[in-house]
Amino acid sequence: MSSGKFHPKASHPIGVFDSGIGGLTVAKAINELLPNENIIYFGDTAHMPYGEKSPHAIKSYSEKIAGFLIEQPCKLVVIACNSASATAFKQVQNSLPDKNFVINVIDPVVEHLVSDGNYSKIGLIGTKRTVSSAVYKKKFEKANPDIRLKSLATPLLAPMIEEGFFNNKISRTVVHSYLSNPHLSDIESIILACTHYPLIINEISSFYKGKVTIINSAEIVSQAVKQFLETHDLLNKGKKAPKHQFYVSDYTSSFEETAKIFFGGKIKLKENNLWNEK
Ligand code: DGL
């Protein structure tokens, strides 16, 4: 894409994407912090779960979606997926007209925990792709080698949540079974390194009973978005009520249900399989 075509304006929406409903936790946090902003959300339900896909596949999906969001035009792209942030951030940056106009969900969390300095024994749960990439580990080692990170892949969780299994007996059992893993004993805080996981925060809290601090990246990322827009003088100061648009690459009823929980009953889900375009 040529940089000549990219003229972000404050009135343009923020583009947010994930493999499915997980990124809605980030979109919701952005909406709460910045209620004036318009949001375009893309859930790549046709390719979910990203956590099981090859880095090559995730890079190609992410690049396509980011390109779609910039064409709308969005003023900023938020990769609201850890698996994509861990594997495709550079690829997305390089594909956009200006590589600064994309935010991932990993850097803000690492920066937040490092500057806070409250924890040295940190746990992490995420998809296989995020954990095997060791991106968090490398970033913490670089920023503060005293931080010890214990990561555990929890591959059942994102598909379980995507199917609408949260706040119930099954999700509680699965979450408790994963968190009982001895690898995660002796941690002071735990990073929810998958944007689907705030939807099972009740199950996670009921396991730790306040003994471990739960790091919800959605809120931290929304702060990073706010800071970015302030710095670039792109905060929407218009008086019109904000408009949100939701796209999926393949219609699923569970996506629609969850989007309604987060954004109220009025949302209209549009199916747009970018890969079927002629
Ligand atoms: N929500 C995503 C993440 O943060 C992806 C889950 C998946 O599709 O496997 O990693």
Bridge partner list, 190: 123, 214
74 is catalytic: no
Q: Which residues have C-beta atoms less than 6 Å from ligand 1?
A: 18-20, 22, 48-51, 81-83, 127, 130, 158, 194-196
- Ligand 1 pocket test target in 194, 199, 258 with most atoms within 8 Å of CB: 194
- Give domain 107-217's CATH architecture: 3-Layer(aba) Sandwich (3.40)
Q: How far is the CA of 146 from the centre of ligand 1 (A)?
A: 28
pLDDT tens across 108-126, in order?
999 999 999 999 999 999 9
Residue 11: Cβ within 10 Å count = 13
CA neighbor of 269 nearest in space, from 254, 250, 249, 248: 248
Consecutive 10-residue runs of the chain (278 residues): their mean pLDDT? 75 97 97 97 97 98 98 98 98 97 98 96 98 98 97 97 94 98 97 97 98 96 98 94 94 90 83 83
Q: How many other CB atoms are found less than 10 A from the CB of residue 1? A: 13
**CA atoms of 103 and 55, how far apart (whole Å):** 19
Q: DSSP letter at 252?
A: -
CATH architecture for segment(s) 14-104+219-276: 3-Layer(aba) Sandwich (3.40)
Residue 154 has a pLDDT of 98
**What is the per-residue pLDDT across 174-196, written as a single tens digit (0 to 9) for each?**
999 999 999 999 999 999 999 99
**162 CA to centre of ligand 1 in angstroms:** 10
Residues 21, 65, 81, 113: which is the catalytic one? Answer: 81
Q: Do domains 14-104+219-276 and 107-217 have the same CATH topology?
A: yes
The predicted pLDDT at position 2 comes to 45
pLDDT score of 277: 61
Domain ranges of the chain: 14-104+219-276, 107-217
User: Which residue's CA lies nearest to atom 2 of ligand 1?
Assistant: 81
CA of 25 to the centre of ligand 1 (A): 12
Please pick, among 109, 110, 194, 259, the residue that the annotation labels catalytic.
194
pLDDT at 219: 95
pLDDT given for residue 227 in this prediction: 98
* Nearest CA among 205, 3, 232, 216 for reference residue 109: 216
For residue 86, give the ligand 1 atom closest to its CA: 10
